[in-house]
């Protein structure tokens, strides 16, 4: 007889599974964590290389001469900005027209669901200005975008100046095969979202914008520039976009090769390159860089103005100029030459960037880890859930035989050995209703909260969210009253919860590996060990400490630690509150999915496990 159809052998296998379940789970967890930490180890990573044939090597002659003139333009722009208080639309239109571009403006307005305390805005109204440089001989089917945000304070003037200088230089060349759109967006991400939505004729977030009068063709690639000083010591590349989406690795490779050609210092996560990656300190820096990227990707928010392009399958990155105390400085002309070289190479593209990886982690700019290498780390953690589910299934299957064989000390009625569907659904439904309340109530009830409590709207929203989250902890005492299921019904519920969590985390990891991995790190042990029979108080404390909310708190502290700007507990708590409010705003403004995922799916799942802990 076969291995699985022979009852004796099957019983032997299932006994093995039951006996070894916990050790294997522990082993898998440790293997997953070790695999993740080992990803940054230098011999396991691959050197980055240019995959796109059309972009070839850096053989192009950059001749951009006008760095100083760009700085003069930047100072003019700054002066006009100070004078008008907002973006100097007329001056920008006039300057772009004098450089020979087709200039258009777009106005937009948006009322945020609650005031944004970080950027101090609530009712946002602005104008985007963009100029299109038409390709001299090509049909208008493709476009490239160079954008610089217009910040209200005195930053990013040099970015706009360099953008205008490049526009003038590009205008006199004849080798452009794609239109180039020079965009200056106001209110950074909100303006960019308005422009992109109007360009692609979609309206995802309910913003109010004027339609675009001038258009350039389908956008192949976009670069966003942030430059706040006349000289820079290094250029930082920001890749993480909305919902953890990353541009094609070829764009990062292109930036890196041109940085090397122009002899500019380039960084990622603001960490410098080094030559000794296989030493201990090199390894720790690689791990730090990778961990920063994981945290940024998991937050699901766009970390530069480029982050919103990725949703439309436009490869984009942000280049940020950093001026630190270093001897070797790079002037604006060299930065302009780097951008010129990158644009000439992007001009040679015949199709969208697709040859290189879309899913990767970068321990440094010269090394990468592709999805095939990092996914097993998550796979080990997901296997734990499947093993637990198998174990529960075996236990559930073994139960009727136990009651049949058992000498009637506990005369259980036969129908209660298989709990009814309704009794399982009750905790599930109530948990999800709590999740839905966590998702909708904070924003809806901010008016009510402001009336009754002396807090601002933002604080009201955040504190309501925390309140609902904590209130969910009290649920088991309530749900229990409505159910009258047998003591062993918790196994079915746990089976459902574990499988649900496995599916949820796997789907999340496919789209946003970092988010899935971080959630799995804390939720999988909870899901694995929780039963009604473990010591209640200790496990309750552990569960609360490993809950999604606390995971977010740890991530905030870890992020600050990795950025070498550690915060005290109070500051960390304030940061945590602002992170919650930013998450909700990102969801409302740009369609970030982290907040709905956590509120509507992860939190109810955790609540179901909390219910199992307090099963009576």
Partner 1 sequence: TARPCMLISSSVALDFVLIGRTSAFLLLHQARAERFFRSDHTNNWAVLVCTSRFWFNYRHVANTLSVYRSVKRLGIPDSHIVLMLADDMACNHRNPKPATVFSHKNMELNVYGDDVEVDYRGYEVTVENFLRVLTGRLPPSTPRSKRLLSDDHSNILIYLTGHGGNGFLKFQDSEEISNVELADAFEQMWQKRRYNELLFIIDTCQGASMYERFYSPNLMALASSQVGEDSLSHQPDLAIGVHLMDRYTFYLLEFLEDIHPASQANMNDLFKVCPKSQCVSTPGHRTDLFQRDPGSVLITDFFGSVRKVEITMETINLTVPGIPLERFGGEPHTETALAYVDQLPVAQIIHQKPKQKDWHPPDGFILGLWTLILLVFFRTYGIKHLKHIF
Give me the sheet containing 367-370, strands edge to edge. Answer: 46-47, 367-370, 360-364
CB of 554 to partner 1, least distance (A): 49
CB of 218 to partner 1, least distance (A): 16
| Residue 443 Cα to chain centre, angstroms | 22
409-421 in b/e form (b: 16+ CB < 10 A) is eeeeeeebbebee
199-221 in b/e form (b: 16+ CB < 10 A) is bbeeeeeebebeebeebbbebbb
Q: Interface with partner 1 by CB under 8 A: which range of 51-59, 375-383, 387-395, 473-481?
A: 51-59
Residues forming a β-bridge with 125:
109
Q: Helix 475-482 crosses helix 421-444 at what angle (to 10 degrees)?
A: 140
> Pick from 1, 5, 7, 61: which binds partner 1 (CB under 8 A)?
61
Q: Which is nearer to partner 1, 61 or 263 (CB)?
A: 61
Strand 121-133 with 102-116, pairing? antiparallel
> Pick from 1, 4, 59, 407: which binds partner 1 (CB under 8 A)?
59
| Residue 57 Cα to chain centre, angstroms | 31
Residue 344 interacts with partner 1 (CB under 8 A)? yes
The secondary structure element, H or E, covering residue 144 is strand 142-150
Return the structure tokens found at 580: 């919650």
Among positions 130-149, residues that touch partner 1 (CB under 8 A) are 135-138
d(CA 119, CA 187) in angstroms, rounded, equals 9
Return the structure tokens found at 434: 């709590």
Q: Interface with partner 1 by CB under 8 A: which range of 50-58, 86-94, 398-406, 519-527?
A: 50-58
> Pick from 173, 205, 323, 426: which binds partner 1 (CB under 8 A)?
173
Q: Interface with partner 1 by CB under 8 A: which range of 88-96, 171-179, 428-436, 550-558?
A: 171-179
> Pick from 54, 429, 444, 510: which binds partner 1 (CB under 8 A)?
54
**Distances in whole angstroms, Cα of residue 480 to Cα of each of 331, 381, 427, 477, 611:** 69, 31, 8, 6, 9
Return the structure tokens found at 535: 């010591």
Residue 455 interacts with partner 1 (CB under 8 A)? no
Q: Which is nearer to partner 1, 173 or 531 (CB)?
A: 173
Return the structure tokens found at 398: 């073994």
CB of 68 to partner 1, least distance (A): 24
What value, to the nearest 5°, has the Cα angle with vertex 24 and ends 22 and 30?
Answer: 105
> Pick from 8, 57, 172, 409: which binds partner 1 (CB under 8 A)?
57
d(CA 387, CA 415) in angstroms, rounded, equals 28
CB of 52 to partner 1, least distance (A): 10
Residue 347 interacts with partner 1 (CB under 8 A)? yes
Residue 175 interacts with partner 1 (CB under 8 A)? yes
Q: Interface with partner 1 by CB under 8 A: which range of 48-56, 101-109, 120-128, 548-556?
A: 48-56
Say which residue the tokens 């950059």 belong to: 62
Residue 51 interacts with partner 1 (CB under 8 A)? no
> Pick from 51, 262, 323, 348: which binds partner 1 (CB under 8 A)?
348
Q: Which is nearer to partner 1, 136 or 566 (CB)?
A: 136
Residue 60 interacts with partner 1 (CB under 8 A)? yes
Q: Which is nearer to partner 1, 57 or 275 (CB)?
A: 57
Residue 402 interacts with partner 1 (CB under 8 A)? no
CB of 215 to partner 1, least distance (A): 19
- What is the sign, positive or negative, of the torsion defined by CA atoms of 229, 231, 234, 235? positive
d(CA 436, CA 433) in angstroms, rounded, equals 5
CB of 168 to partner 1, least distance (A): 18
> Pick from 16, 20, 34, 350: which binds partner 1 (CB under 8 A)?
350
Cβ(546)–Cβ(529) below 8 Å: no
> Pick from 24, 177, 450, 473: which binds partner 1 (CB under 8 A)?
177
Residue 404 interacts with partner 1 (CB under 8 A)? no
CB of 366 to partner 1, least distance (A): 23
Strand 102-116 with 208-209, pairing? antiparallel
Residue 263 interacts with partner 1 (CB under 8 A)? no
Contact positions vs partner 1 (CB under 8 A): 53-54, 56-57, 59-61, 135-138, 173-177, 344, 347-348, 350
């Amino acid at each position: 007889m076969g291995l699985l159809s022979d009852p004796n052998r099957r019983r032997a296998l299932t006994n093995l599974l039951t006996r070894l379940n916990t050790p294997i789970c522990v082993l898998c967890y440790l293997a997953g964590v070790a695999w993740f930490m080992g990803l940054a180890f230098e011999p396991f990573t691959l050197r980055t290389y240019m995959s796109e044939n059309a972009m070839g090597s850096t053989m192009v002659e950059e001749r951009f001469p006008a760095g100083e003139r760009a700085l003069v333009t930047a100072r003019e722009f700054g002066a006009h900005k100070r004078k008008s208080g907002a973006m100097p639309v007329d001056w920008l239109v006039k300057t772009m027209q004098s450089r020979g571009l087709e200039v258009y403006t777009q106005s937009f307005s948006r009322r945020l669901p609650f005031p944004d305390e970080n950027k101090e805005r609530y009712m946002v109204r602005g104008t985007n200005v963009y100029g299109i440089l038409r390709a001299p001989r090509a049909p208008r089917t493709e476009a490239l975008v160079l954008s610089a945000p217009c910040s209200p304070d005195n930053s990013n003037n040099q970015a706009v100046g360099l953008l205008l200088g490049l526009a003038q230089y590009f205008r006199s060349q004849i080798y452009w095969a794609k239109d180039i759109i020079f965009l200056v967006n106001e209110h950074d991400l909100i303006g960019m979202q308005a422009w992109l939505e109007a360009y692609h004729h979609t309206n995802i977030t309910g913003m109010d914008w004027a339609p675009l009068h001038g258009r350039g063709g389908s956008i192949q690639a976009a670069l966003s520039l942030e430059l706040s000083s006349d000289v820079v010591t290094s250029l930082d590349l920001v890749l993480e976009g909305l919902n953890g989406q990353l541009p094609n690795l070829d764009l990062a490779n292109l930036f890196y090769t041109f940085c090397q050609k122009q002899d500019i210092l380039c960084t990622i996560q603001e960490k410098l390159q080094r030559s000794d990656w296989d030493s201990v300190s090199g390894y720790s820096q690689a791990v730090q860089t990778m961990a920063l990227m994981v945290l940024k990707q998991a937050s699901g928010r766009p970390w530069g103005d480029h982050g919103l392009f990725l949703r439309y399958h436009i490869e984009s990155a942000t280049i940020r100029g950093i001026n630190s105390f270093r001897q070797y400085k790079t002037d604006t002309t060299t930065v302009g030459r780097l951008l010129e070289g990158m644009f000439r190479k992007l001009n040679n593209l015949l199709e969208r960037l697709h040859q290189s990886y879309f899913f990767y982690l970068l321990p440094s700019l010269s090394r990468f880890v592709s999805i095939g290498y990092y996914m097993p780390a998550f796979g080990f953690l997901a296997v734990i859930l499947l093993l637990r589910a198998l174990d529960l299934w075996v236990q559930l299957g073994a139960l009727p035989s136990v009651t049949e064989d058992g000498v009637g000390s506990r005369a259980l009625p036969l129908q209660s050995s298989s709990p009814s569907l309704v009794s399982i659904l009750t905790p599930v439904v109530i948990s999800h209703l709590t999740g839905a309340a966590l998702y909708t109530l904070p924003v809806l009830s901010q008016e009510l909260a402001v009336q009754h409590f002396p807090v601002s709207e933002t604080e009201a929203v955040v504190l309501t969210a925390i309140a609902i989250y904590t209130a969910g902890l009290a649920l088991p005492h309530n749900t229990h009253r409505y159910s009258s299921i047998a003591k062993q019904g918790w196994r079915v519920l746990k089976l459902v919860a574990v499988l649900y969590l496995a599916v949820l985390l796997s789907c999340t990891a496919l789209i946003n590996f970092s988010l899935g991995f971080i959630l799995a790190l804390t939720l999988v042990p909870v899901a694995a060990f929780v039963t009604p029979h473990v010591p209640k108080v200790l496990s309750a404390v552990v569960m609360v400490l490993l809950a999604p909310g606390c995971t977010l708190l740890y991530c905030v502290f870890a992020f600050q630690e990795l950025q070498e700007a550690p915060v005290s507990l109070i500051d960390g708590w304030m940061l945590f509150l602002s992170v919650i409010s930013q998450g909700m705003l990102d969801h409302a403004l740009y369609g970030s999915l982290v907040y709905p995922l956590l509120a509507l799916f992860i939190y109810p799942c955790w609540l179901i496990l909390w219910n199992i802990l307090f099963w009576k």
